[in-house]
Amino acid sequence: MPTATQLKKLKSAAKAAAGLAYAPYSKFHVGAAVLTNSGKIYAGCNVENASYGLTNCAERTAIFSAIAAGENKISCVVVYTPTKTATAPCGACRQVINEFGPTAQIISCCAGREQIAVSLEALLPGAFGPADLA
């Protein structure tokens, strides 16, 4: 679980990233920030594409940014949507989170008061991951 200071920074980074989202089709702007085991924070936004299958979610953008910077373990993912209710990561994002943070804490927040705080294990029980290939 992140410290109160880390959580504040994660939420701020996720909210700022949502403002950068490229979402001309869905109009659903999402920002995410991940906390790596080294304590660094990486943010990302959703990036849509006219070929919908090539769209990338904010959570994966943030995780891939961390990986590109040499990180390979995440402990927390914060998702922000400028909506009245909080939104949990999609199934594909849950699987990618599992690859790099099977014990990660997931926190979804929004413009409203609602917040979701849950473990990845609760969102993706019985997940398939790297350990299954050993």
Active site residues: 59
Token match 């109160």: residue? 4
Token digits for 129?
């991951």
Under 8 Å between Cβ of 127 and 95: yes
- DSSP result, 11-52: HHHHHHHHTT-B-TTT----EEEEEETTS-EEEEE-B--SSG
Where is 98: in which H helix or E strand?
A: helix 91-100
